[in-house]
Structure 1
Amino acid sequence: MGSSRLPGGGSTAAKRHRSPVPADRCLPVQAEGSREGYSREQFKHWIDADHDGCNTRNEILLHEATVAPEVTGRCKITKGTGTWWSWYDEATLTTKDDVDIDHMVPLGEAWDSGARTWTAAERQAYANDLDDERSLLAVHDSANQSKADRDPAEWTPPAASARCRYLADWVTVKTRWRLSTDTTEHAAVKKIAAGCADLRITVAYAR
């Protein structure tokens, strides 16, 4: 259980790697598309891709636990066991009920930035991306709910220590999935990056 969460270990399309580049120079800038037609159901998520009994949510809970939870059956995580560190807000979480699995680039933002033209299979792969550990993460539910579908122009993690990592991971995921950025978001990315020392990323493309 949890073993499938390995970079490059999944079934997405052949990947190409790029050398480390400044995070604020990666993304194409263009106007966002319409939110019309969007729903979370357009991105089938929390599937059990490798049929080991663990869906995507539980794979991440197991992988990111700082203290491993108890597991019964094929992959049932016992409530009240395990510990998780939410780096968005520097919170220690001791029950899975307080943990949300966050899409680094939210589903609605992905839709606006290009995913509306993808196939259903591509959107499913995006929503369950276990091949890059920056795509999905276990965080405090309150922080995730505060973030919602907002981009870095509208939301950054409450912990100042998290902002450079957040920006790098945001740009990595958008680049990995060939998503665009609008002018307001791009300006925010450049502004935040200016306060981060030599912020460079390496990307394995998913599509």
Structure 2
Amino acid sequence: MSTRTRTKALVTAVVAVLAAGGYYLSGDLDLNGDDVGDAAATGTADLSELTVTPEDTGAHYDRDDWPHWSSVGDGCDARDAALRNQGRSIDVGDDCDISGEWTSIYDGETVTDPSELDIDHWVPLAEVARSGARDWSEQQREEYANDPDVLVPVTASSNRSKGDQDPATWLPDEDRCGYVTKWVQIKQRYELTVDRAEAEAIRGVLARCE
């Protein structure tokens, strides 16, 4: 199946999810491949369980409760693995000292110094906490915080700009179609919810993915 076909199938699933919650995507959603990167084509999740409901603003969040950068072996941790797996011309030295080149998918910047990169959680930890993870165990929190499928190397400035915001209040400069599509995919896989404004923002982005 081609990247374009997989992307269209995923967008169709998003449409069904939002419709189930009372949100409908209008317009022609036939994607032509414009601004839809690999992020949108990562897997083919069943999104029919996604629920539109108010955020759990009373959920406690403390970053220290989400053990992150766990060891992945060979002296490397989850942060190192994200750098190693998502860069170009990668070289791994002693003590997992990584060099190479990366493109920050949020703003399109090319970076050659890994110290200038943040490893972002696609759906931020605080957003996860507000979206149905109130009762997650420490093991569940650690698994999410180190899941390579939700980690992405980006410039520190773009990551700080995003913070813990959802698509209702922040979108990247680059590939917004791919960004919101994978956002929904991650939320479905972890059985998380979206709030009304978030769903509307996703609808607005996908309606322009032509």
The aligned counterpart of 1:72 is: 93
The 1:67–1:143 alpha-carbon spacing in structure 2 relative to 1, beyond 3 Å, is same
The aligned counterpart of 1:169 is: 182
- Whether 1:119 and 2:142 are equivalent positions in the alignment is no
- Whether 1:82 and 2:73 are equivalent positions in the alignment is no
Query: Are the equivalent residues in 1 in contact too, given 2:75–2:95 (CA < 8 A)?
Result: yes
Partner Cα distance (1:62, 1:128) in 2? 14
Q: 1:99 aligns with which of 117, 123, 142?
A: 117
Q: 2:14 aligns with which of 18, 23, 28?
A: 23
Between the two proteins, the alignment pairs up a number of residues equal to 169
1:40 aligned partner, one-letter code: R
The aligned counterpart of 1:157 is: 172
Root-mean-square deviation over aligned CA pairs: 1.6
SS of residue in 2 equivalent to 1:137: strand
What displacement does 1:36 show? 4.7
SS of residue in 2 equivalent to 1:115: coil
Partner Cα distance (1:128, 1:111) in 2? 15
Partner Cα distance (1:174, 1:167) in 2? 11
Query: Are the equivalent residues in 2 in contact too, given 1:35–1:108 (CA < 8 A)?
Result: no
Partner Cα distance (1:189, 1:30) in 2? 14
Q: 2:65 aligns with which of 42, 48, 51?
A: 42
The aligned counterpart of 1:200 is: none
Q: Percent identity?
A: 39
The aligned counterpart of 1:196 is: 209
What displacement does 1:37 show? 2.4
SS of residue in 1 equivalent to 2:51: coil
Normalised by the length of structure 2, the TM-score is: 0.76
- Segment of structure 1 superposing worse, 120-129 or 36-45: 36-45
Question: Which structure is higher in helix share?
Answer: 2
List alignment gaps of at least 5 residues for structure 1. Answer: 1-18, 198-207
The aligned counterpart of 1:147 is: 162
Q: Deviations over 1:92-138 (max 9, x none)?
A: 011011111110000000000011211110010000012x3xx1111
Query: Are the equivalent residues in 1 in contact too, given 2:57–2:130 (CA < 8 A)?
Result: yes
Q: 1:55 aligns with which of 74, 77, 82?
A: 77
- Whether 1:187 and 2:209 are equivalent positions in the alignment is no
Query: Are the equivalent residues in 2 in contact too, given 1:67–1:84 (CA < 8 A)?
Result: no
Partner Cα distance (2:132, 2:144) in 1? 12
Q: Structure 1: which 4+ aligned runs deviate by more than 4 Å?
A: none
Partner Cα distance (1:74, 1:98) in 2? 19
